[in-house]
Structure 1
Amino acid sequence: MSRIYTKAGDDGSTGLFLGGRVSKADVLVDACGDIDEAVAQLGVARAGCPDPRLASIIFALQRELFVAAADLATNPEHRGRLTPGVSLVTSEMVDALEGLIDDLVTERPLRPVFIVPGATPTSAAIDHARTVVRRAERHVVRALGEGHTVSPVVLAYLNRLSDLAFVLARHAAGDQEEEPSHD
């Protein structure tokens, strides 16, 4: 029988990808935790998504977030061992997000109004994931400020992903989205 627990983290540390350990209170661990939460929240969105195309996009984003987490959680001394698109976020991944945003906005132009999330369960879950990705982005910025080695491409990827999540949520909401009343 294999066990899921290792007890290695009982001292408050966690392992880095490709070796080494850091405190679970480290800001990069916070960013990785945010990414893990975003993956799970996108899973909630995908589980209730009635649109197969949208569900497929969400699934692809979940897998890409694993790449971002690996990139962030890598021992800085071993970054040269990362594989583009597998454990290393690439500029092509950022470009692909931008292309998808542009395509989706062309299909369904954004309305110039404040949006209150919650038109549909799927759109609400995607909007929730968007806020978690924004939190991850803030933690990455803080990590950079604290001197951590972080790829600027990861930061750009998270920024674009939050934009894409906004656009995806609008697609998921469809015509059910209402403008806030000004009563």
Structure 2
Amino acid sequence: MTLLTLVSGPTGGQSVSRVYTRTGDGGTTGQLYGGRIEKGGALVEALGDIDEAVSALGVARAGCGDERMSEILLRLQRELFVVAADLAVNPKHRDRLKPGISLVEPQLITDIEHLIDELTEERPLKPVFLVPGTTPLEAALDLARTVVRRAERHTLRAKDDGHVVSEPVRHYLNRLSDLVFILARRAADEAEEPASHE
């Protein structure tokens, strides 16, 4: 079962009776509030990347011993479900989206920007490119960051292909990758991260 299936399937706390539906056997997948789109298109690529980002952040959270960071990561995972719903909706039914549940609002971007500012004030960044892999948590976060960047690229491609992509969704994904980069540096703790060159 994919994230798209979850955002376009049963809502309101209904249980899922089975994982397979057979409705996608023809190469299409359902949109939130009706309609179907090709599984091989850019929009579904973007949704798949967002699904992967949720899981990648989950890997990082599973190995996180910092309570504050763990809470931030869970919050980001949940926000990505909102992003997916905003992207997956049938454009004719955008009026049915709900802020914080299926609609990305500018406040989400503002909140991320404030958190980035707060974290970089606590621990300023070094002006060098860094090689991931200093700690397991840092490496997991840097991998998640690259998945978010891919989600952003595929989202922009979906927009170029004519799909409705809201400005807040685009901005959210861009700021999210910045935040995950900051969190990765924090996860390196006091260890010296190797630079990209000697």
TM-score (norm 1): 0.97
Mapped partners of 1:166, 1:182: distance in 2: 19
C-alpha separation between the residues in 2 aligned to 1:182 and 1:77?
51
User: Residue deviations 1:88-125, cap 9 Å, x none?
Assistant: 00100000000000000001100111111111111111
How much identity, in percent, do the aligned residues show?
62
Cα-Cα RMSD: 1.3
Higher helix share: 1
Q: CA deviation at 1:145?
A: 1.1
Asked whether the 8 Å contact 2:148–2:176 carries over to 1, the reply is yes
Q: What do the CA deviations read for 1:37-73 (whole angstroms, capped 9, x no partner)?
A: 0000000000000111101100000000000000000
Matched, 1:90 2:90: no
Q: Which amino acid aligns with 2:80?
A: L
Query: 2:57 maps to what in 1?
Result: 42
Residue among 12, 28, 31 paired with 1:16 = 31
Rounded to whole Å, the distance in 2 between the matches of 1:79 and 1:150 is: 11
In 1, Cα distance between the equivalents of 2:196 and 2:162? 45
Q: Name the residue aligned to 2:127.
A: 112
For residues 29-178 of structure 1, what are the structure 2 equivalents within 5 Å?
Answer: 29-178=44-193
Question: 2: CA distance between counterparts of 1:182 and 1:67?
Answer: 39
Aligned residue identity for 1:52: E
Report the secondary structure of 1:175's partner residue: coil
CA contact (8 A) 2:131 2:196 kept: no
Q: Report the AA paired with residue 152 of structure 2.
A: E
AA paired with 1:128? L
How far residue 172 of structure 1 moved from its aligned partner, in angstroms, is 0.7
Is the Cα–Cα contact under 8 Å of residues 113 and 179 in structure 1 kept in the other structure? no
Q: Give 1:181 deviation, angstroms.
A: 7.1
Displacement of 1:176: 1.4
Could you tell me how far apart the structure 2 residues matched to 1:181 and 1:15 are? Answer: 43
For residues 120 and 62 of structure 1, the distance between their equivalents in structure 2, rounded to whole angstroms, comes to 21
Q: For the structure 1 residues 13 and 98, does the alpha-carbon distance in structure 2 shift closer, same or farther, using more than 3 Å as the test?
A: same
Structure 1 letter corresponding to 2:177 = S
Contact 2:28/2:38 (CA < 8 Å) preserved in 1?
Answer: yes
Q: Which amino acid aligns with 1:86?
A: I
Q: Distance in 2 between matches of 1:39 and 1:181?
A: 28
Q: How many residues align?
A: 183
Determine the C-alpha separation between the residues in 2 that align with 1:95 and 1:6: 38
Q: Which secondary structure state, in structure 1, belongs to the residue aligned with residue 139 of structure 2?
A: helix
Letter in 1 for 2:60: A
